[in-house]
Structure 1
Amino acid sequence: MRRITRIATVGIASAALALSATACGGKKSSDASSSPSESGQKSAAIAYDIGGRGDQSFNDAAYAGLKKAETDLKIKGAEAEPTDGEGEADKVQRLTELARKGNNPVIGVGFAYAPAIKKVAPKFPNTTFGIIDDTSVTGENIANLVFNEEQGSYLAGVAAAKASKTGTVGFIGGVEVPLIKKFEAGFAQGVKDTNPNAKVLSAYLTQPPNFDGFAKPDLGKAAAQGQLDAGADVIYAAAGLAGSGAIEAASAKGKWAIGVDSDQYNQAGLAKYKDSILTSVTKDVSDSVFNLIKSVEDGKPTTGEIRYGLDKDGVGLADSNPKYKEMADVIAAVEKAKADIIAKKITVKTAP
């Protein structure tokens, strides 16, 4: 049976109170780093990104890795959800609480956790901290789990160009940050290398510091509808939960959608649209989470940059849709592009 601990985030004032209590004679954070979990059982924790569990994409992929660790490694899993409008102090408190409870490793799902991990990790030197999609924060007990998203997105561009009948395809980014621009760059390059005459429409849902573009499906739906009205017949959205709105819009028009992060054809929450999900750019977030947890359980915690690319199947394209499997010309083009990237015959751009 699964046992999950959900940790609700409280306000900044509570965080300050907890920290001041530690300073006034309580157990030091570094002492707590080696404490067992409350039940005495080994445990690992993940703190979710914007959208939380149930986004059918990025966060759910991380959850799958934690669930696998629970089953295969017999550990206890802890989860912490984000809150609306939270700031850095909330993330600091969340990670601190997870570490104090003896969870090891503690994994922040997404680059937004970088400032908080930078503050918290030194206070718990015996705890391994993982962060997905970020290399800006480093330390002896920090593992940076990163991916060559541009490579998987290039393959999506190849597939989109081959599947398109109008010669116009669309890219939707959740928030205009360097990470998501990697998705755009690879996708656009894959499209143009396959069909130089193709048109790529690009749109971003929000600009930092507004990160609603990762969380609100209505924004993704509206952007996709605009691109569909402009002639796009394949839409690729790298927008977390907001991407489900783009998939809905494409399905309503009888056009193709390309999913992201997880194999969205197989996501229960998107079942009604699955026939319109041509493929998905997958990131092996699940295995990256599991592998880090296992390294800690084995007594050899992995730290530093851990990169997942096409050469290690860390990114790729899903082929769950039977309609995709029937597209021999698309599959052949994708496989050739994959082989050429691995052989370094193609260098994929990381910025548009």
Structure 2
Amino acid sequence: MRRITRIAAVGVMSAALAVSVTACGDSSSSSSSSSDSKDKKTALAYDIGGRGDQSFNDAAYAGLAKAEKDLGVKGTEAEPSDGESDADKVQRLTSLARAGNNPVIGVGFAYAPAIKKVAPKFPKITFGIIDDASVTGSNIANIVFNEEQGSYLAGVAAAKVTKTKTVGFIGGVETPLIKKFEAGFTQGVKDTNSSVKVISQYLTQPPNFDGFSKPDLGKAAAQGQLDKKADVIYSAAGLAGSGAIEAVSKAGKWNIGVDSDQYNQKGLAAYKESILTSVTKDVEDSVFNLIKSVQDGKPQSGEIRYGLDKDGVGLATSNPKFTEMTDVVAAVDKAKQEIIDGKITVKTTP
């Protein structure tokens, strides 16, 4: 059974800023009680969109679920609130640390300012942050990925399968991280077929992060690109990307998913046949590995990078229609090896 508790946002005037937390272990007592103090507990603080985004956050949850099953830890999940500030994230991480969770993992670069403030106050607790290497400390593990490398492979595939010689990229929010996806994808397309046009679009600009959470924005952007004859669209937009996937599927064109193998995401089952492949990030294993390192008494810290050479990023092959395209698969495999061998250097900015 799941139990729902609520962590109050200390020092925040409005009760609306409280954080909903789901504890994934079986227990009859509150997660903050002294009876749980000796239990192995860990926590995930989700990024924009929360669990159920069929993408980034769900991949992190899969790592937590694996740790619960294989390591016997009790997992706590903390969802973000709409329009929250860095101060809200500080309160969330503080509450999770005080409850005895170790490690406490911030899912996404948005947690960097909060971890910078909270981690020094809890030196015996490991804080993990995914997709950020800017904030460092002896008890901070920076889990980062070479997204541009996986995106390059997606560009190769897109250039090989397009019939209109027009493909699209949809980024959720125009940040340095998402620009890595765009840069790799565009380079992969152009290196494969320089005559293919790439239409790039971002849904929102910081500090507006709706581009990661509102499917209608992704749907409208995809429709606009379809109207411009794009027949392959790669969306790196979190939950908003599901709207793009819907639009592309209904148009009978190809989607390229992101972060998780979106062909296998239950929430996208109605559109799976349109998902040619997905650029995957091994967020699941990265979360599990961090939790395991703490349980083993050898907590990870510093930069932990996952690239093509360690299968930390890659291109999913779940859709049988993709694997049947032997020339496409061969081109992708060739590009992958050349990146690993250093023959291709993938750009990190468009």
| TM-score range for the pair, normalised by the shorter chain length | over 0.9
Rounded Cα–Cα distance in structure 1 between residues aligned with 2:163 and 2:35: 56
- Alpha-carbon shift at residue 13 of structure 1 (Å): 2.0
- 1:147 corresponds in structure 2 to 145
Q: Is 1:13 aligned with 2:12?
A: yes
- 1:20 corresponds in structure 2 to none
**1:115-167 Cα deviation digits (max 9, x unpaired):** 00000000000000000000110000000000000000000000000010111
Q: Give the number of aligned pairs.
A: 333
- 1:162 corresponds in structure 2 to 160
1:95–1:117: 8 Å Cα contact kept in structure 2? yes
Specify which of 38, 42, 45 is matched with residue 44 of structure 1: 42
2:170–2:218: 8 Å Cα contact kept in structure 1? yes
The residue identity in structure 2 corresponding to 1:230 is K
Specify which of 78, 88, 91 is matched with residue 90 of structure 1: 88
SS in 2 for 1:13: coil
Larger mean Cα displacement after TM superposition, 138-147 or 6-15: 6-15
- 1:63 corresponds in structure 2 to 61
Q: Is 1:320 aligned with 2:337?
A: no
TM-score norm. by structure 2 comes to 0.92
- 2:178 corresponds in structure 1 to 180
What stretches of structure 2 of length at least 5 have no aligned partner? 15-32
**1:216-273 Cα deviation digits (max 9, x unpaired):** 0000000000000001000000000000011001001000000000000000000000
Q: Is 1:307 aligned with 2:302?
A: no
The residue identity in structure 2 corresponding to 1:345 is K
Q: How does 1:203-222 map to 2 (within 5 A)?
A: 203-222=201-220
Q: How does 1:125-144 map to 2 (within 5 A)?
A: 125-144=123-142
Rounded Cα–Cα distance in structure 1 between residues aligned with 2:37 and 2:319: 43
Q: Residues 9 and 314 (structure 1 numbering): CA distance in 2 closer, same or farther, change over 3 Å? A: farther
Q: Residues 276 and 37 (structure 1 numbering): CA distance in 2 closer, same or farther, change over 3 Å? A: farther
- 1:275 corresponds in structure 2 to 273
Identity of aligned residues (%): 79
- 2:116 corresponds in structure 1 to 118
- 1:348 corresponds in structure 2 to 346
**1:168-191 Cα deviation digits (max 9, x unpaired):** 000000000000000000000000
Specify which of 264, 282, 286 is matched with residue 288 of structure 1: 286
Rounded Cα–Cα distance in structure 2 between residues aligned with 1:274 and 1:13: 43
- Alpha-carbon shift at residue 325 of structure 1 (Å): 1.1
- 1:337 corresponds in structure 2 to 335
SS in 1 for 2:48: coil
Rounded Cα–Cα distance in structure 2 between residues aligned with 1:7 and 1:265: 34
1:9–1:83: 8 Å Cα contact kept in structure 2? no
- Alpha-carbon shift at residue 299 of structure 1 (Å): 0.1
Q: How does 1:26-37 map to 2 (within 5 A)?
A: none
**1:48-84 Cα deviation digits (max 9, x unpaired):** 0000000000000000000000000001001100000
- 1:23 corresponds in structure 2 to none
SS in 2 for 1:150: helix
Specify which of 52, 55, 75 is matched with residue 54 of structure 1: 52
Specify which of 48, 72, 89 is matched with residue 74 of structure 1: 72
- 1:242 corresponds in structure 2 to 240
The residue identity in structure 2 corresponding to 1:223 is A
- 2:169 corresponds in structure 1 to 171
Rounded Cα–Cα distance in structure 2 between residues aligned with 1:37 and 1:270: 41
- 2:30 corresponds in structure 1 to none
